[in-house]
Structure 1
Amino acid sequence: MLKNLLMALFVVMQGAAFAEIAVIVHPSQGAAISQDDISRVFMGRSGDIAGETFIPVNLADSHPAKAHFDQAVLGRSSSQIKAYWSRLVFTGKGTPPKEVGSDSEVLTLVAKNPNIIGYVPLSMVDDSVRVVATF
């Protein structure tokens, strides 16, 4: 009983530690984008969504939002994502998304380029980008 209570408390606390993540695109992008679309783009399977080609931008591994995004959106841990990209790079079958070090860099890149898709904590979103999903 105590073990189950502690486990439930841990799960609640872990979820509370992460801010909600907003997947963002340029405001001119009007296409509906699903979680599957986002996953395909960030896993390098296809950058095409509704006739547009998107270029993903990741936050650096050290950013807390990256681990949350990997788990919530891609369904894998950050170490699994790193291993996935290592295999693709080693075999010449893919290049991982560009990484940037801060939320403001992601916002700037997305706001300036209609083909970039990225993510930031929801609290960082401003009018320069459009939110297509939250996790």
Structure 2
Amino acid sequence: MKKVPASLVLAALACATLALSLPAAAETVVIVSQKNPATRMFSEQASQFFLGKSTMFTPVDQSEGSAIRADFYRKVADKDAAQVKALWSKLVFTGKATPPKEYAGNAEVKKAVAADPKAIGYIDKSAVDDTVKVILTLP
């Protein structure tokens, strides 16, 4: 049996310790009002509302530049912030759609969604309460 160098063992231990000390990534959930009849949704469906391809729901967005917004669009639409902005610029310019209203954070998005049965938004899972319903949890 081959002996493993001590420096390699220490490096592996350091990596394992670092990995354990990093915070777990927050889970993002898609929410609707308790008054909305929807109970489940797929990522592809959610992207339709947030990219202006369907008007069945009124999308409520997190603020531009926020980490949760970047993560949400990457997960549901495989698009980065610049791609989403370009898409909305085109839709607005051609008069085909109005971009989602933006709110400063989880609490504001949750409040707006809870107040409107047609609204759909996304927040950190830890911010969910009984005023809204989770219809999709993003991996």
* Aligned length, in residue pairs: 116
Per-residue Cα deviation, 1:69-89 (whole angstroms, up to 9, x for no partner): 010012111111011111122
1:133 corresponds in structure 2 to 136
Scaled by the length of structure 2, the TM-score of the pair is: 0.76
Do structure 1's residue 74 and structure 2's residue 82 form an aligned pair?
Answer: no
Scaled by the length of structure 1, the TM-score of the pair is: 0.79
Amino acid at match of 2:84: I
Instruction: Report percent identity of matched pairs.
Output: 41
Contact kept, 8 Å, 2:32 with 2:114, in 1: the verdict is: yes
**Structure 1 unaligned spans of 5+:** 1-11, 49-53
Spell out the pairing of 1:78-117 with structure 2 (5 A cutoff). Answer: 78-117=81-120
1: CA distance between counterparts of 2:44 and 2:65? 25
* Cα root mean square deviation, aligned: 1.7
**Judging changes above 3 Å, is the alpha-carbon distance between structure 1 residues 63 and 17 closer, same or farther for their aligned structure 2 residues?**
farther
Per-residue Cα deviation, 1:82-119 (whole angstroms, up to 9, x for no partner): 11111122222222111111111111111111111000
Could you say what secondary structure the match of 2:29 adopts? strand
Amino acid at match of 1:41: F
**Structure 2 unaligned spans of 5+:** 1-18
- The partner residue of 2:35 within 3, 21, 28 is 28
Q: Which has the larger radius of gyration?
A: 2
